[in-house]
Amino acid sequence: MIITEYLERNARLYGNEVSLVELNPSEERDQAATWWDFNLIESASQDAPYRRELSWRDFDRRANRFANLLLSRGIKKGTKVAVLLMNCLEWLPIYFGILKAGCVAVPMNFRYSSDEIKYCLELADVEALVFGPEFISRMDGIREEIPGVRMLFFVGKDGPAYTEDGLRLMGFCSSSAPPVALEETDDAAIYFSSGTTGFPKAILHNHKALVCACKTEQNHHSQTREDVFLCIPPLYHTGAKMHWFGSLLSGSKAVLLRGVKPEWILRAVTEERCTIVWLLVPWAQDLLDAIDARRVDLSQYRLEQWRLMHIGAQPVPPSLIHRWKKIFPHHQYDTNYGLSESIGPGCVHLGVENVHKVGAIGKPGYNWEARIVDEYGVPVKKGEVGELIVKGDGVMQCYYKNPEATAEVLKDSWLFTGDMAREDEEGFIYLVDRKKDVVISGGENLYPVQIEDFLRAHPKIKDVAVIGLPDARLGEIAAAIVEVKEGEECTREEIDTFCQALPRYKRPRQVFFDKVPRNPTGKIEKPVLRERYCSGRLVEAQVTG
């Protein structure tokens, strides 16, 4: 099946049932975009989150309307159509409308600057762009510089004069499926790398990869029609969307929560009866900290139906999961490893039955293969560190218009991830670090993730990043950027004392107290830290509060 056929099946079988709910705890009601002829579902209490919902039948109809709108404007199969929206009820139907038209969907990071938007539109050969009110000022600055984008659809009220009202125009289009034949080998989507080493690369996937993500996710987390998935991360990223694909496959409800405050998460779980929640590390830490500080009272929420908490997109500190299981002992736990190049999470996963292996990313996922190899591509012995490579239907077709970069990572259908890992005697894989992040100090390889995991066990530390700094004698030294928990004070001496338990060569030679920057998917932005601290612009602080 093509992925759009799963949506059509759900509309046929479960048409009146809720497919999507959008919650906006912090927004005024007149700020949200609304569908043409769409009735809002309002919450009962005045101070409740702004709430909208969409049935499976209306989801499919609106996807058809948007597909037919594109086709009516001369958009042809294979055309690239970009989506620049915050998470909202319109996001997924527009995405599926692009696919139904036979076009290539190009989701874009909502944090992109004007220059990055322009760069990505040009790199992906985008001809049509759908964007929302949050991006007007950024689009104003580049409108005259993107002649290749011949159509601009606005999602919201009072759009700029150079745009068309996409939602209103959809109301005049047919809600029947467009007559476009799709094959699993057809191009389906372009996602962008995180861009942590410069401007992002464009990652091309076909329809077969999208279906692979559906089947992998549903197999790993056993979604049924009774499950309710709480989705908080941005939909432009493969992580959030591909986890939602499990809900698509099972025909179950999902909730899009626009906000990450602990009380908003718990309230959404309570009121929408959520059973599965995917969190990033910072959000899980914030929730646990709020519970510990008694800023939230768990007795005020109904959480007994919440069965699974899973985390991905970055290395997960074992200390965090041990804390979580003390507070939520009934929760299943899973972690998922993946890359946008492997259609998101799942090419390696821990499995809910393997909580005793917290710290590992797991074993090859459903319908995936994985190996750990040396610099020549030869498998290493168990316990030895090498590069993780994966193979499956979800591996990208290529880096779009970048054959050199493609050849570096795609070899005989294997994707070379750039992640260093090791495998234990039971076949569980442990991430050691990114290949490019390894610190070589005095001839010894230091893996920052290992040092970070150790430091996160300190009771005063909220977050930490370890980077390499140039050193005339040793080549590089390890430096720790420490973010202290709110209300706590910590000194360099406390960190040094704590690190006495580490082998001497692994101890950080410098400690800086600062906020740890993370991108929207939770990954530490180490290039930002290297630029900040290698330039010598900041001096070491001794105390923070």
Confidence at residue 247, expressed as pLDDT on a 0 to 100 scale: 96
Outline where 295-383 has alpha helix (H). 318-327
Bigger pLDDT: 233 or 520? 233
Confidence at residue 433, expressed as pLDDT on a 0 to 100 scale: 66
Mean pLDDT of 49-57: 88
pLDDT tens track for 329-354: 999 999 988 889 999 888 999 999 99
The pLDDT of residue 217 is above 60: yes
The pLDDT of residue 540 is above 60: no
Give the separation between CA 493 and CA 506, rounded to whole angstroms: 17
Mean pLDDT of 416-433: 90
Task: Report yes or no: 69 and 130 within 8 Å, Cβ to Cβ.
Answer: no
Confidence at residue 444, expressed as pLDDT on a 0 to 100 scale: 66
The pLDDT of residue 543 is above 70: no
The pLDDT of residue 28 is above 60: no
**Domain extents for the chain?**
7-182, 228-434, 438-544
Place domain 228-434 in its CATH homologous superfamily.
Answer: ANL, N-terminal domain (3.40.50.12780)
pLDDT band at 532 (very low <50, low <70, confident <90, very high): confident
**Highest mean pLDDT pick, 34-38, 40-44, 191-195:** 191-195
Phi-psi region of 541 (alpha: psi -120 to 50; beta: other; left: phi over 0): beta
Q: Among candidates 458, 469, 539, 460, which has minimal Cα distance to 499?
A: 458
Q: How many helices (H) and strands (E) does the chain have?
A: 15, 29
The CATH number given to 7-182 is: 3.40.50.12780
pLDDT band at 314 (very low <50, low <70, confident <90, very high): low
Mean pLDDT of 96-112: 95
Confidence at residue 505, expressed as pLDDT on a 0 to 100 scale: 77
Angstrom CA distances, 409 to 492, 499, 536, stand at: 40, 36, 34
CATH fold for the domain made of 438-544: GMP Synthetase; Chain A, domain 3 (3.30.300)
Confidence at residue 423, expressed as pLDDT on a 0 to 100 scale: 95
Mean pLDDT of 393-400: 97
Same fold, 7-182 and 228-434: yes
The pLDDT of residue 32 is above 90: no
Give the separation between CA 372 and CA 378, rounded to whole angstroms: 8
Answering whether pTM is above 0.85, one says no
Share the mean pLDDT of the chain.
87
Mean pLDDT of 487-497: 91
pLDDT tens track for 56-96: 999 999 999 999 999 999 999 999 999 999 999 999 999 99
Task: Report yes or no: 192 and 202 within 8 Å, Cβ to Cβ.
Answer: yes
Mean pLDDT of 277-293: 89
Confidence at residue 262, expressed as pLDDT on a 0 to 100 scale: 94
Q: What is the dihedral of CA 50, 55, 58, 59, to 10 degrees?
A: 80
Angstrom CA distances, 367 to 237, 306, 347, 422, stand at: 22, 27, 8, 21
- Ranges assigned E (strand) in 148-252: 151-154, 164-165, 187-192, 202-206, 228-231
pLDDT tens track for 461-488: 999 999 888 876 666 788 999 999 988 9
Give the separation between CA 489 and CA 501, rounded to whole angstroms: 21
The pLDDT of residue 31 is above 50: no
pLDDT tens track for 171-180: 889 999 999 9
Phi, psi angle pair for 434, to nearest 5°:
-70, 140
pLDDT tens track for 138-169: 999 899 999 999 999 999 888 999 998 877 88
Give the separation between CA 284 and CA 487, rounded to whole angstroms: 18
Q: What percent of the chain has pLDDT over 90?
A: 63
Give the separation between CA 88 and CA 257, rounded to whole angstroms: 9
